[in-house]
Amino acid sequence: MQIYQTRAVLQEALAQFRRTGKSIALVPTMGNLHAGHLALVAAARAECDIVLATIFINPLQFSPGEDLSSYPRTLDADIAGLTASACDAVFIPATTEMYPNGLDNQTLVSVPGLTARHCGASRPGHFDGVCTVVSKLLHLTGPDAAFFGEKDYQQLQVIRKMVSDLCMPVIIRGVPVQRSEDGLALSSRNGYLTDAEREVAPLLQQQLVSTRDSIVAGNTDYAALESAGMQALATAGFRPDYIAVCDAATLEPATAANTDLVILAAAWLGKTRLIDNITLQRA
Ligand code: AMP
């Protein structure tokens, strides 16, 4: 597997691939790779000739007080995992390489509307940081397709909207959530959980399943389902941020007219913020 650290070397290598007619897949990550990330690599591998992963902990998407400095950094293991997954190349830029003019007064890419609620409301500036870095990576690499996890459901929808609004010539693919055997969505932040919190963590997905089952059984009082879900999470020991039954595309609160739904949830367990979601179709 090739390792690139600078834009110049990356772009020269990609130009060479393109000259030989190879299609390119981009898999952006922040590293500390687990089976969720490697599922993106596998999906990319199945679709394109060249799979390019990126590992970059993007300071712009962390708010002050969040876990930028403690975010897990496991570069050797990440490179081993990517190599074993038949990834062709990885771009691991320094912050100065991605932000050559510094982070202050950086041009930002914003997707209003879709970022107004949910994680966008709880983490001001987060999605501007995500959209800015993802658009930089898309500009730098010009991939045929880019792969993102459905685990970060709002992020995936925001990126789809950004790419559509900015007429970016790239296909965005969503890859299903990868979970532990007990249902907990894999996340680099799961490593922050204490043993006791790790026992409780799967209840987040169980709550989503139970809310989904109530809707499938005919309950359309979404506000009541949301408050009951928040209450159940609080009783289990979480500090719930939100549970929201939404239209799956717009992420606006679901109405009786919506048939494609997503239930989004975020909740704190101690110092760890967990997110998860479940999609469903109403008849
Ligand atoms: P991150 O390194 O956390 O920024 O994630 C990089 C990419 O991996 C994003 O597109 C995430 O949505 C995706 N991802 C992270 N965890 C999972 C998971 N459990 N299942 C599927 N995709 C995931």
Catalytically annotated residue among 37, 118, 126, 139: 37
What's the rounded Cα separation, in Å, for the pair 183 and 179?
Answer: 5
Paired strand residues for 238: none
**187 CA → ligand 1 middle, Å:** 7
Distance of CA 167 to the CA centre of its chain: 21
pLDDT surpassing 90 at residue 42: yes
What's the one-letter identity of residue 190?
N
Alpha carbon of 28 to ligand 1 centroid (Å): 9
Gap from CA of 224 to ligand 1 centroid (Å)? 30
Q: What is the mean pLDDT of the chain?
A: 98
**Phi, psi (5° rounding) for residue 172?**
-100, 125
Residue for token digits 């389902």? Answer: 225
Report phi then psi at 244, rounded to 5: -140, 125
Distance CA 167, CA 138 (A): 12
Q: Is the pLDDT of residue 276 over 90?
A: yes
Instruction: Compute and round to an integer the Cα radius of gyration of the chain.
Output: 19
Atom of ligand 1 nearest to the CA of 186: 19
Q: Report yes or no on whether pTM surpasses 0.85.
A: yes
Going by the DSSP 8-state scheme, the letter that residue 253 receives in this structure is B
For 256, other C-beta atoms within 10 Å of its C-beta total: 8
| DSSP alpha helix (H) spans, the chain | 7-19, 35-47, 75-84, 95-98, 119-122, 126-141, 153-165, 195-200, 203-216, 222-236
State the pLDDT at residue 283: 80
Ligand 1 site residues (CB inside 6 A) read: 29-30, 36-37, 39-40, 148-149, 151-152, 175, 177-178, 185-188
Range 67-72 contact pairs with CB under 8 angstroms and sequence separation of 24 or more: 67/189, 67/192, 71/30, 71/32, 71/188, 72/31, 72/32, 72/188, 72/191
Find the 30 Cα to ligand 1 centroid distance in Å: 9
CA distances from residue 67 to 108, 145, 146, 187 in whole angstroms, order as listed? 21, 30, 26, 14
Q: Whose CA is nearest to atom 17 of ligand 1?
A: 36
Q: Which residue's CA lies nearest to atom 10 of ligand 1?
A: 148
Residue with CA nearest ligand 1 atom 12: 149
Query: Which among 81, 79, 26, 76 is positioned nearest to 49, based on CA atoms?
Result: 26
Residue 104 binned pLDDT confidence (cut-offs 50, 70, 90): very high
203 close to 233: Cβ distance less than 8 angstroms: yes
pLDDT tens sequence across 116-151: 999 999 999 999 999 999 999 999 999 999 999 999
Active-site residue flag, 139:
no
